[in-house]
Amino acid sequence: MALIKVAINGYGTIGKRVADAVDAQDDMEVVGVSKTGPSFGCELAARKGFPLYCTTDESARIASFSSGGYECRGGLSDLLAIADIVVDCAPGKMGADNLSKYTAAGVKHVFQGGEKHSLTGLSYSSNANHAENLDADGTRVVSCNTTGLSRTLVPLYEHCGSLKVECTMIRRAADPGDSNKGPINAIKPVLKVPSHHGFDLMTVKPEIEINSLAVAVPTTLMHVHTIIADLPEGHGLTTESVIEMWRGTPRVVVMHGERHRLTTTAEVMEMARDIGRKWGDLHEIFVWEDGVKLVDDRLYYFQAIHQESDVIPENIDCIRALMGTEPDWRVSVAKTDRAISDYYDL
Amino acid sequence: MALIKVAINGYGTIGKRVADAVDAQDDMEVVGVSKTGPSFGCELAARKGFPLYCTTDESARIASFSSGGYECRGGLSDLLAIADIVVDCAPGKMGADNLSKYTAAGVKHVFQGGEKHSLTGLSYSSNANHAENLDADGTRVVSCNTTGLSRTLVPLYEHCGSLKVECTMIRRAADPGDSNKGPINAIKPVLKVPSHHGFDLMTVKPEIEINSLAVAVPTTLMHVHTIIADLPEGHGLTTESVIEMWRGTPRVVVMHGERHRLTTTAEVMEMARDIGRKWGDLHEIFVWEDGVKLVDDRLYYFQAIHQESDVIPENIDCIRALMGTEPDWRVSVAKTDRAISDYYDL
Amino acid sequence: MALIKVAINGYGTIGKRVADAVDAQDDMEVVGVSKTGPSFGCELAARKGFPLYCTTDESARIASFSSGGYECRGGLSDLLAIADIVVDCAPGKMGADNLSKYTAAGVKHVFQGGEKHSLTGLSYSSNANHAENLDADGTRVVSCNTTGLSRTLVPLYEHCGSLKVECTMIRRAADPGDSNKGPINAIKPVLKVPSHHGFDLMTVKPEIEINSLAVAVPTTLMHVHTIIADLPEGHGLTTESVIEMWRGTPRVVVMHGERHRLTTTAEVMEMARDIGRKWGDLHEIFVWEDGVKLVDDRLYYFQAIHQESDVIPENIDCIRALMGTEPDWRVSVAKTDRAISDYYDL
Amino acid sequence: MALIKVAINGYGTIGKRVADAVDAQDDMEVVGVSKTGPSFGCELAARKGFPLYCTTDESARIASFSSGGYECRGGLSDLLAIADIVVDCAPGKMGADNLSKYTAAGVKHVFQGGEKHSLTGLSYSSNANHAENLDADGTRVVSCNTTGLSRTLVPLYEHCGSLKVECTMIRRAADPGDSNKGPINAIKPVLKVPSHHGFDLMTVKPEIEINSLAVAVPTTLMHVHTIIADLPEGHGLTTESVIEMWRGTPRVVVMHGERHRLTTTAEVMEMARDIGRKWGDLHEIFVWEDGVKLVDDRLYYFQAIHQESDVIPENIDCIRALMGTEPDWRVSVAKTDRAISDYYDL
């Protein structure tokens, strides 16, 4: 079977990870990645063997790459012309602009969670609505936070039949490689109440009732969610059985904070580096076993989200959904994870 | 009328503030403060004119003060002998030890929230249970976090008649003057679930049903609470009327994050410095007006707590309660605040 | 004698402090402060009784203040018309623009260290070149870092007759009330080598030979300088005599890190709050006694600089220099400090 | 030729990296690693196939590993009995205690920079004194900071014949996976002046005259050195030729801050993750090309040191020195680096 030809438009924090993940699969290939101009990212692409394109079609821009010693194969149009599907990893809110280009080129397209649901009218999360996305022209992989909620709440919902959730998101303020953003010594509440994060889960699983509040704090490592989920009567669950359920859930890792000495996000990230994950990433959602507690029908738990990486495998599954090559989300997830968990599984 | 003679046992972060607050009142006086040995705090006490005592009765310790050039008037026993009441501001968990000394000396005693309720079997919060503490021998002023919850939830409870609350506490990890504690770049969940903070409110207001989750984050400025309160049917409140209620509540300040450009705890603290409060303290609980929202019967809001200072005026009211000199909490609160809000009211 | 009429153009971090310092003197008064529009700063000015003006003359802007409930007395021209001298505390690089307005209005003017020496061709530091500034039309108070270098190095130079200095500046990245700037978890070298900071000292004391390197670090509290000064042969100094010299130097405070438990900038700032300084400021340069060491002819020491406040008293002395009312810098410094060290001297 | 049998005593931050580095070489093998008790590190060792031993010989301790499901092969004595050489990666100051055990067992030994030079009377740095360590019984690999100084200063010294250096060390306060240490928001000077770091270089290169000052800052990523080196007359170097010299120096990487957008330690660390280094390590010393400047005979530059990893390859070379298997440091360095720079060279 022919490999799916994937273009990566924007080779930055997310794009470079998606490119490696695509490259690791046996049913797809990277036909090109794009950059705005010469930089260390071009060198990285060159060393990895990904053909380099410019994010625009301006000839002056395209020519500028050679000044840095890089070979640029052409503009975005040239890249789209050889692709079956494009993963949009452009920063900011360039969605509407890019969407028209993708549509004009007749190329399927996957946006990231920085764009709104309304851009494509369709969103994606592997365990929530893979089937709904089969053969669609374009969609949006939901944000790192929404993906994290989907991972632990969807199986809970499927067991219980209904769910009412409140979540407080304690967000890291900047990526590890970002040195411009603050606050250095403050807590910043997101004063839009409830915050948009909870609602966003309903774009892929409208049956889950959820609200959220958010604050930003001065750390570069992982978001943390404190979650309160009200289960319906007769749910039949216990603290232990919830933990067991998540142990059997793909892309959720349950470890014990005290016993494993993983009591903060710093130690969780060190563990990800220990097991040899690329970039020290942890695409699984991390749940502290000793932080889960069911009190009557109210479930309390903490989870940590690795912002740069939890959506990476979702993009791979999403490519298969849009291309219609794998209708079963569980099969796709297993295939994706086997290919990218290069060192070993948790 | 004779002034109430107050001893401060432990002249550190809390003790130095309580001493100044007592000193500012017209119905009480500081008869002495205690330190473990010579240090900058002794100089501070000397300059403020507070007689200096040693936290123990060991003669070698008492003598050690003169090596630093400070006059020590004697040991703890000497201090207790001239006091009507002692405010225990000792660090750590020295409560049981100190309690027996206070009892033996026949001196009334006020502990801080670092001690457990069980130590005295009685706790105190000005707006929750002043009456219950009248003429008691000893009590405990609840912690900064519990005091913060009491301030906004008790008036809400009194209006509604019942209340069910969930709170996520985003705790600063260290005091501004503390340079030993971390984490520098991590989020640390408190893995005891639910955390003890919420339950503690029930020691002063058992009618409010409350649970909490907590995380520590790398900042030295203020705790932030994200609060979800379920109001009973027929509460008759709106977002606006809740805000109005808090505007009329002592020691709660409601300001608009966006309009006043007070969008983080850093800016809130700068405002407290601007208005000339001693140590830049803010003993009021800070509620962001634009972060309050009532959705059906569920109320969402954020509040910020200045850890070193919100309990200071509570200690003053508590002294009056134990001494039985002011039965009406509202009268005491007004009197206390007039004396310490030296620059002007918010 | 008539009071010197001082206008403050820009009532922000520096402006609000200069206004209070002017207000505390008996030979000058604040005739007005300016803001760009309604905000919490306007409320602060109103409560302090400082007449409020707009930073421009646009009538729409001036009118906008009333929407916030503030009385604006007019535009910058109106403010300059009633002033003898203006202290420019405008943010950014608005110097050239403002200079022409001040000159046109015939008002003397003091700029801050954010502007370049070339703007006025004259700079000011109280202990370095007060005499040179007497009766000048305009000048620039050097930056917080240069002021800090001037405080400790000028007396050393005056004793020795020559001095060759290397300084590494470890700069805090943001003001305490600033929540936008990073880096959160990184060290950022200033890659212009040598940095401009050292050279800047030569604008007020050209006889001192000095270079510097700088890095920015994630803290909001004080800059720290590590300084290496080569003394000429026959200097006759010892570690102890250097310490004694600084003890007798105005606006330098020498304390012992270990003995006073002031081992970090956090603890130094807490000490400033303890002694009741407004905003918790420390306008003195802080030298760690146990960090001073003379090895042969090379002197090593650390000093900490409180960025928001060390230049405040310099602005007061500078006003007197330009107005020609006090030719002796030592007399002005003593007068200024007596008025603003409201709680007590260090 | 038989493989060198290497024991790793202490499988923590340094030990786990040394083990992987030994494992990657073709002339040595890991015969065992030790832990104090069951933890995530045991699991890591098990998955990597490193035999697990206990750091002591207590039978209760040894038995405790099975409770965590790990197979412990025995105590430290058992491990030493099968080793040619032991790399001591124990935390704290356990050197004297361990030294006697190693000597008793007749095993060669390599300590880390946390121990003092006086422990073995010999220290090691690959480019400074490999020859001096040939066939020795035991030595100490100098600390991360001293290793960093050695890398850039030794080639400079060898060119110039003499060198006088001053260094300010801006030290990160904690390792990335460490969540206990502060300060969160402060700068902490090391009040011992000059600090021990500079002197330590003289244990491996006594010809270089050097002093240093140090401060700790709230970051977990890399130390930064600001260095001032006085070159002797007639050195014949220029800014450009110094840069070229370092480009040709093993384990030094020179990149341009502005052109490569690597302006802070956060971005340098992200680059190390990009190129696929294990744990995101950078064992090279990072020099900012645009931060190097020779002014007359005084050279200024910045370098960044990755604390956990720069000494790792030094340990490998050191093993070869003590075993006497490779007398030429350049040959050993090339061999070591080829084996561990798994993704590609910088």
Q: Per-residue pLDDT tens for A279-313?
A: 999 999 999 999 999 999 999 999 999 999 999 99
Same domain for B322 and B290:
no
Please, which chains are in contact with B (at least 3 CB pairs closer than 8 A)?
A, C, D
Q: Which residue among A185, A219, A291 places its CB closest to the CB of B221? A: A185
Which residues 94-113 of chain C have a CB within 8 Å of chain D? Answer: none
* A247 is a domain residue: yes
Same domain for B190 and B151:
yes
Q: Which residue among D173, D176, D184 places its CB closest to the CB of B173? A: D184
CA distance D25 to D280: 20
Whole-number pLDDT of residue C178: 63
Average pLDDT of chain C is 93
- Tell me the chain D residues in contact with residue C220 when contact means C-beta distances shorter than 8 Å: 185
CA distance C270 to C267: 5
Beta bridge partners of residue B217, listed in sequence order: B172
Same domain for D204 and D83:
no
Percent of chain C's residues with pLDDT above 90: 78
Question: Hunting for tokens 């749940």 — which residue is that?
Answer: A287
The pLDDT of residue A18 is above 70: yes
The pLDDT of residue B99 is above 90: yes
Nearest residue in chain D measured CA to CA from C294: D193
Q: Note whether A293 contacts B: Cβ–Cβ < 8 A.
A: yes
Per-residue pLDDT band for D224 (boundaries 50, 70, 90) equals very high
Whole-number pLDDT of residue B167: 96
Whole-number pLDDT of residue C276: 87
Q: Note whether D269 contacts A: Cβ–Cβ < 8 A.
A: yes
Same domain for D238 and D195:
yes
β-strands D285-288, D209-217 pairing: unpaired
Question: Hunting for tokens 């890190």 — which residue is that?
Answer: C257
* C346 is a domain residue: no
Dump strand ranges (E) for A192-260: 209-217, 223-230, 252-255
Q: Is C144 a known active-site residue?
A: yes
- The residues, ordered by sequence, that sit 6+ positions from A252 with a Cβ below 8 Å of its Cβ are A151, A152, A246, A284, A285, A287
Question: In the numeric block, which tokens belong to residue A295?
Answer: 């009190």
* Binding-site residues from annotation of D for D-glyceraldehyde 3-phosphate: 143-145, 197-198
Do D170 and C267 lie within an 8 Å CB cutoff?
no
CA distance A84 to A109: 9
Q: Per-residue pLDDT tens for D286-339?
A: 999 999 999 999 999 999 999 999 999 999 999 999 999 999 999 999 999 999
Question: Hunting for tokens 């003397």 — which residue is that?
Answer: C108
Q: Note whether A56 contacts D: Cβ–Cβ < 8 A.
A: no
* Residue B167 φ then ψ, to 5°: -135, 135
Q: Which residue among D186, D220, D265 places its CB closest to the CB of C265? A: D186
Report the run of H or E that residue B60 belongs to, with start and end. helix B59-67
- Tell me the chain B residues in contact with residue C269 when contact means C-beta distances shorter than 8 Å: 176-177
Whole-number pLDDT of residue B219: 87
Q: In Å, how far is D47's CA from the nearest CA of chain A? A: 9
- Tell me the chain A residues in contact with residue D266 when contact means C-beta distances shorter than 8 Å: 176-179, 220
Percent of chain B's residues with pLDDT above 70: 96
| Higher pLDDT pick, C196 / B176 | C196
Whole-number pLDDT of residue D178: 63
Q: Note whether C275 contacts B: Cβ–Cβ < 8 A.
A: yes
Same domain for A292 and A152:
yes
CA distance B88 to B111: 5
* Residue A175 φ then ψ, to 5°: -70, 155
Catalytic residue among A42, A72, A89, A144: A144
* Weakest mean pLDDT among A100-104, A226-230, C190-194: C190-194
Do C266 and B220 lie within an 8 Å CB cutoff?
yes
Whole-number pLDDT of residue A260: 81
Nearest residue in chain B measured CA to CA from D217: B184
* D345 is a domain residue: no
Question: In the numeric block, which tokens belong to residue D159?
Answer: 């060119």
Question: In the numeric block, which tokens belong to residue C74?
Answer: 């007019």
- Tell me the chain B residues in contact with residue C177 when contact means C-beta distances shorter than 8 Å: 266-267, 269-270
Do A221 and B172 lie within an 8 Å CB cutoff?
no
Q: Note whether D174 contacts B: Cβ–Cβ < 8 A.
A: yes
Same domain for B167 and B78:
no
Q: Note whether B69 contacts D: Cβ–Cβ < 8 A.
A: no
Per-residue pLDDT band for C181 (boundaries 50, 70, 90) equals low
Q: Per-residue pLDDT tens for D44-65?
A: 999 899 999 999 999 999 999 9
Per-residue pLDDT band for C186 (boundaries 50, 70, 90) equals confident
Q: In Å, how far is B149's CA from the nearest CA of chain A? A: 17
Going by C-alpha positions, the residue among A182, D11, D113 that lies closest to residue C178 is: A182
Same domain for C221 and C76:
no
CB-based contact B140:B111 (threshold 8 Å): yes
Do C182 and A179 lie within an 8 Å CB cutoff?
yes
Do D220 and B176 lie within an 8 Å CB cutoff?
no
Per-residue pLDDT band for D199 (boundaries 50, 70, 90) equals confident
CA dihedral over C319, C321, C325, C329, signed as positive or negative: positive
* A327 is a domain residue: yes
Catalytic residue among C42, C144, C160, C318: C144
CB-based contact B336:B26 (threshold 8 Å): no
- What is this model's ipTM? 0.91
Percent of chain A's residues with pLDDT above 90: 79
Q: Is B114 annotated as a binding residue?
A: yes
Average pLDDT of chain D is 93
Average pLDDT of chain B is 93
Per-residue pLDDT band for D346 (boundaries 50, 70, 90) equals low
The pLDDT of residue B119 is above 80: yes
Do B266 and C44 lie within an 8 Å CB cutoff?
no
Whole-number pLDDT of residue B343: 46
β-strands D164-172, D223-230 pairing: antiparallel
Q: In Å, how far is C279's CA from the nearest CA of chain D? A: 18
Same domain for A125 and A190:
no
Q: Per-residue pLDDT tens for D169-184?
A: 998 877 776 656 667 7
Domain CATH code at residue C213: 3.30.360.10
Going by C-alpha positions, the residue among D277, D307, D40 that lies closest to residue A278 is: D277
Give the distance from CA A122 to its chain's centroid.
Answer: 16
Type of residue at B287: V
Beta bridge partners of residue D326, listed in sequence order: none
Strands, sheet with C52-54, edge to edge from the N-terminal-most edge strand:
C52-54, C28-35, C4-9, C85-88, C108-111, C138-141, C123-124
Q: In Å, how far is A208's CA from the nearest CA of chain B? A: 17
Find the mean pLDDT for residues C9-25. 96
Find the mean pLDDT for residues A142-147. 96
Q: In Å, how far is C39's CA from the nearest CA of chain D? A: 28
Nearest residue in chain C measured CA to CA from A186: C179
Per-residue pLDDT band for B345 (boundaries 50, 70, 90) equals low
| Higher pLDDT pick, C207 / D182 | C207
Do B273 and C279 lie within an 8 Å CB cutoff?
yes
Same domain for B135 and B14:
yes
The pLDDT of residue C342 is above 60: no
Same domain for A295 and A331:
no
Q: Note whether C184 contacts A: Cβ–Cβ < 8 A.
A: yes
Do C177 and B220 lie within an 8 Å CB cutoff?
no
Q: Is C197 annotated as a binding residue?
A: yes
Q: What's the number of domains chain C is made of?
A: 2
Whole-number pLDDT of residue B96: 85
Whole-number pLDDT of residue D9: 97
Same domain for D215 and D105:
no
* B266 is a domain residue: yes
Nearest residue in chain A measured CA to CA from C176: A185
Whole-number pLDDT of residue C59: 94
Q: Per-residue pLDDT tens for B173-216?
A: 777 766 566 677 888 898 888 887 888 999 999 999 999 999 99
Per-residue pLDDT band for C179 (boundaries 50, 70, 90) equals low
Same domain for D149 and D135:
no
Which residues 214-253 of chain C have a CB within 8 Å of chain B? Answer: 220
Is C305 in a helix, a strand, or coil? strand
* Weakest mean pLDDT among A209-218, A243-252, B86-95, B243-252: B86-95
Nearest residue in chain C measured CA to CA from A189: C179
Q: Note whether C118 contacts A: Cβ–Cβ < 8 A.
A: no
Do B184 and D184 lie within an 8 Å CB cutoff?
yes
Whole-number pLDDT of residue D343: 46
- Tell me the chain C residues in contact with residue B178 when contact means C-beta distances shorter than 8 Å: 266
Find the mean pLDDT for residues C132-149. 97
Do A280 and D264 lie within an 8 Å CB cutoff?
no
Q: Note whether A180 contacts C: Cβ–Cβ < 8 A.
A: yes
Do C280 and B279 lie within an 8 Å CB cutoff?
yes
- Tell me the chain B residues in contact with residue C70 when contact means C-beta distances shorter than 8 Å: none
Domain CATH code at residue C57: 3.40.50.720
Do C220 and A185 lie within an 8 Å CB cutoff?
yes
Which residues 132-161 of chain B have a CB within 8 Å of chain A? Answer: none
Size of interface A-C (CB pairs under 8 A): 51
Q: Which domain holds residue C296?
A: 144-305
The pLDDT of residue A98 is above 90: yes
Give the distance from CA A13 to its chain's centroid.
Answer: 11
Length of chain D equals 346
CB-based contact A87:A32 (threshold 8 Å): no
Q: Is A307 annotated as a binding residue?
A: yes
Find the mean pLDDT for residues C22-50. 93
* A346 is a domain residue: no
Q: Per-residue pLDDT tens for B127-161?
A: 999 999 999 999 999 999 999 999 999 999 999 99
- The residues, ordered by sequence, that sit 6+ positions from D328 with a Cβ below 8 Å of its Cβ are D130
Do C40 and B274 lie within an 8 Å CB cutoff?
yes
CA distance A21 to A24: 5
Q: Note whether C335 contacts A: Cβ–Cβ < 8 A.
A: no
Whole-number pLDDT of residue B342: 57
Q: How many CB atoms lie within 10 A of CB B344?
A: 10
CA distance B30 to B23: 6
CA distance C249 to C236: 18
Q: Is A54 annotated as a binding residue?
A: no
Do B189 and A224 lie within an 8 Å CB cutoff?
yes
* B346 is a domain residue: no
- Tell me the chain B residues in contact with residue D178 when contact means C-beta distances shorter than 8 Å: 182-183
* D346 is a domain residue: no
